[in-house]
Structure 1
């Protein structure tokens, strides 16, 4: 998402606008008009068909340092893809400009996962960047877990942990989050950032949409499409990355527009995300109010809605000068945060609240399927897959420099 041109507007200190809350937007008689739909891009459609025709159609695992393998039940002779052969695919649970995410059940271990697949007109290089960073990130309780990736033709697939819902969805129904819940979210996200920053990796797209809630009530940072490894900011295997390193403008630190990428950008994004969650406000994506929130003088009435101890921390995280923002380690050392961290020993599972109010969401999610289960062998489609108990992919700890195995 290129936000430079839309944001660089007048920074007049006189701001007559006021921020609206999400609840106010719900009760408005006349809601704002939706964006004007774009006309059909025939060039893009042509490229999509052209790219989709490339390759031999055989699935191959993608890895850099931790070799992975495809399931032994995958039959490359069949016309159906690895995705359709190995997964019972349910509904779409997310879609962006470059990819789409499905809820799917792995036929081998009968577990549910989120399968992210790129749209076939998207270049694969940025996704190699993402996979490479995810291997380096590893496993952490407060990060959506990455399992493995594979490629068929021009499409890349990633198997990820499936969470219950995002905070963006949760806050559509619950406009007032309690003080303990705000601290739970904040502490969990600090732990996620501490893990990333310790590996010199920054997220660059922190926002409520990308903060997931598990059924255990744990908050996890997800959507790693903007991950940047600060050790190698521009080159990946000798090739210059084409990744667009600007996230959602509403949560973006101002210095990112000047291509200044530091952990402080994540600190700002988390701070302004907590402001949104605490106040239930609709953040601007551009214009004078966007600058007003980033010039250090924002004194809105909504700040009063933020619990005082949390407000003190947020204000420090939203300092305009990136070098003056505290690091995640420094934030953990603040007295207010220390007390909140200790209080995490006994915390409420707020997913149970959601579950009680939305029992219909507990029904079988695969009522509508986009593929059919594998049929019994008929002699020319390979063998049917029995129900084994082994996990599809368990990356060993060997080291390899291969990107796409088998190419």
Structure 2
């Protein structure tokens, strides 16, 4: 039984009026859109609004619950085996694709969100974006569709543990293993970047380590096409991402977020993997996000917390997590060059080049209002002596221009006089 059938049952039994039902649905949609609370079921909302008593809700659950669950998970061509977990947007099941007899993962949009066109569109967009990708380090899409009002998305089934699972046991990754995993994710990001996609939620929970030792990047629920200006404008001002790993520009709700945000988030994940703690710890999500943008808070280099790490790894992580995105790696390809260098026991070439440049430049974020200082483009990073020398050159040039202008003016006057005399 779908939620629509449940609504019809409630009305048919005279438990509420159609107007009361619509008011409860509208209230639930507002709560879901705000993102401030976890999605709630219709009956829960109606009990909170005192439209139904707890006893009435319990009887409805008992009477229609089994039928609802049975039909909810009926998807033609797939045999639902068991439930794997529940996220903010959907429930994930392990299933068998009967046509080829293989195990897959089926994600089903929550009923509470399926009544909202925006959430349906977002769910369908995730499937569409996933279909554009085909890479050994990305959880691949298989199928998607809608049946009896049920939105579903089928993916390859990946058996293993996430980086988050490992970290929660207290594990701290050694440098070679961490480099191997981060390199695999960077390869996946490069594949997505070449197809105009950004993930926007790189974090330990979305990196799966398979039983065979492979690495898979999962969950494209927040992914976006870089060129999708309509979506970018619609999300302006919204901090999209996970607080411990979110980039500064995502915190600000910038509309021009690009692949460098994913590089920052991967850097924060890398940091957590090799130190055992996120780069900016804290219990309050808002305070944690503020630390990502607050220039007065300095990131402790990972090789200072874990002295077994090489200084080269520290330089790579700091470059990935530069607050000014212009100072990060420009794309995953550049990051991959340095990661491979570290794996080979060499120094990170690109990170060190950027470090040399940053030694002469005061870090400023291009997204801030103080993007350009009083020195202007020509004065950034110059010593006092260089500024004086530059000023002298400019003044001398201006004097020459002034003299030429005077001579040109005199020549013009002389020509006019000669012309009149004739």
Say yes or no: does 1:298 pair with 2:299. Answer: yes
Q: Counterpart in 1 of 2:265?
A: 269
| Residue 87 (structure 1) shift | 3.0
TM-score computed with the length of structure 1 as normaliser: 0.59
Say yes or no: does 1:251 pair with 2:237. Answer: no
Which of 112, 123, 126 is the aligned partner of 2:122?
A: 126
Q: Counterpart in 2 of 1:213?
A: 209
Is contact 1:166-1:209 (8 Å) kept? yes
Once the two structures are superposed, what CA deviation does each residue of 1:289-346 show, in whole Å capped at 9, x if it has no partner? 5434553612278842172232211111111112221121221232x53342799xxx
> Using a 3 Å threshold, how does the CA distance of structure 1 residues 293 and 189 change in structure 2: closer, same or farther?
same
Once the two structures are superposed, what CA deviation does each residue of 1:261-283 show, in whole Å capped at 9, x if it has no partner? 11111011000011111111154
Is contact 2:95-2:106 (8 Å) kept? yes
Which of 62, 82, 101 is the aligned partner of 1:110?
A: 101
- Which deviates the most, 104-113 or 260-269? 104-113
Is contact 2:131-2:140 (8 Å) kept? no
Between structure 1 and structure 2, the one with the greater Rg is: 2
> Using a 3 Å threshold, how does the CA distance of structure 1 residues 134 and 207 change in structure 2: closer, same or farther?
same
> Using a 3 Å threshold, how does the CA distance of structure 1 residues 99 and 233 change in structure 2: closer, same or farther?
farther
| Residue 234 (structure 1) shift | 1.6
Instruction: State the distance in 2 between where 1:270 and 1:84 align.
Output: 36
Q: Counterpart in 1 of 2:81?
A: 90
Say yes or no: does 1:154 pair with 2:158. Answer: no
Q: Counterpart in 2 of 1:196?
A: 192
Instruction: State the distance in 1 between where 2:126 and 2:38 align.
Output: 31
Is contact 1:104-1:112 (8 Å) kept? yes
Is contact 2:188-2:217 (8 Å) kept? yes
Instruction: State the distance in 1 between where 2:239 and 2:225 align.
Output: 11
TM-score computed with the length of structure 2 as normaliser: 0.57
Which of 46, 50, 71 is the aligned partner of 1:42?
A: 46
Instruction: State the distance in 1 between where 2:48 and 2:193 align.
Output: 37
**Bigger helix share:** 2
1:210-249 to structure 2, matched below 5 A, reads 210-234=206-230, 246-249=240-243
- Which deviates the most, 83-92 or 195-204? 83-92
| Residue 106 (structure 1) shift | 2.2
Which of 163, 173, 184 is the aligned partner of 1:167?
A: 163
| Residue 209 (structure 1) shift | 0.4
Q: Counterpart in 1 of 2:327?
A: 324
Q: Secondary structure of 2:126's partner?
A: helix
Unmatched runs of 5 consecutive residues or more in structure 2: 1-30, 52-69, 114-118, 347-422
Instruction: State the distance in 1 between where 2:97 and 2:333 align.
Output: 38
Instruction: State the distance in 1 between where 2:218 and 2:39 align.
Output: 28
Of the two structures, which has the highest relative contact order with CA contacts closer than 8 Å and spacing of 6 or more?
A: 1
Q: Counterpart in 2 of 1:333?
A: 337
Q: Secondary structure of 1:94's partner?
A: strand
Is contact 1:126-1:241 (8 Å) kept? no
CA RMSD of aligned residues (A): 3.9
- Which deviates the most, 227-236 or 263-272? 227-236
Q: Secondary structure of 1:108's partner?
A: coil
Instruction: State the distance in 1 between where 2:209 and 2:324 align.
Output: 32
